[in-house]
Amino acid sequence: MSSSSPNQSASSYSQSFLHKVQHEAQETASHTFRALASFAWLWPIRGLVFSITHPQIIMSVRHALLKSLVSSVVIFIALAFFTYIPQMAILAIFTGPLAPLVALIVVGAESLLLLSFFARALFLEPALTQVFDRTLQASGQGQLVRDGRARTHAQSSAAKSVQGALVKPLQAFSTDGIVRYVLTLPLNAIPALGTVLFLLYNGYNGGPGWHSRYFQLKGLTKAQRASFVENRRAEYTAFGMVTLLFNFVPLVGLLFSFTNTVGAALWAAQLEAQANLIDNQVGGSQTREKSE
């Protein structure tokens, strides 16, 4: 009797653990499917196309763009020269013939991490903010930008935080972001699935950060932002995954931060247009009800 009790307890614990793992796996698969089905992953691509067809937006921050290119090339080459071969040798144990590609992805992730430290303080913050605002204005949301700037300038503490809003998605500008990014890097050692999990996890956490400027312009409270994001969690995950993947492109990864910002602003412009349409419809129906 006494010997069977520990066995039953261990069996019950194993079944409970397996049930939790199965539940989490199902939730992850469901979330991934919703993220793909949302087509929000297209916004970074649309941002790239819009940047090409509207070069004046990106060229308005050409000095920051040039610095980004030079910084990306120098840091990536330095990391590739000193760390690519050793990392590829280690990853070959786990990933076999995929080691060269996985090592390239890891070097790209590491270069993004280092670039974020240097770029933020030097030139990236105001440039991304300017790109976001100009894209909104080009998309017919100039009033939102004017109202948002007036609101943030009226509050000195808020105004100081505006420029840092858009660099949060680069994952390296907060303690939590650094820890999360570094701890999940080893996932890339798992063939194929590991990189997907890395992108999924960091996209889930980093995706909403691309709309930090939009939330500031709207004047949303912390609770309102949380509710807004939660209602679109799958979309933000899809967006965050693709932006992160673009940032991993060797040599020019940081340049995609500008086109990703354009994509985020285009998405924000659409959300704002839809919100205004709903407000107008509700207001119109209320007016008709009163007149009747």
pTM of the entire predicted model: 0.79
* Rounded Cα–Cα distance for residues 244 and 249 (Å): 9
Q: How many CA atoms lie within 13 A of 36 on its CB side?
A: 7
* Rounded Cα–Cα distance for residues 255 and 108 (Å): 13
Most confidently predicted of 93-102, 174-183, 205-214, 277-286: 205-214
Q: What is the pLDDT of residues 112-167, one digit of tens each?
A: 777 776 666 567 878 889 999 999 999 999 999 999 888 877 665 544 554 455 54
Query: Residue 269's pLDDT is what?
Result: 96
Query: Residue 190's pLDDT is what?
Result: 79
* Rounded Cα–Cα distance for residues 18 and 109 (Å): 32
Q: What is the pLDDT of residues 23-45, one digit of tens each?
A: 666 777 787 788 888 889 999 99
Q: What is the rounded radius of gyration, in angstroms, for the C-alpha atoms of the chain?
A: 22
Query: Residue 172's pLDDT is what?
Result: 40
Give me the numbers of helices (H) and strands (E) for the chain, helices first please: 15, 0
| Burial (0-12, 13-18, 19+ Cβ within 10 Å), 58 | buried
Q: What is the pLDDT of residues 94-104, one digit of tens each?
A: 878 888 888 88
Question: What tokens appear for 127 in the block?
Answer: 């440039």
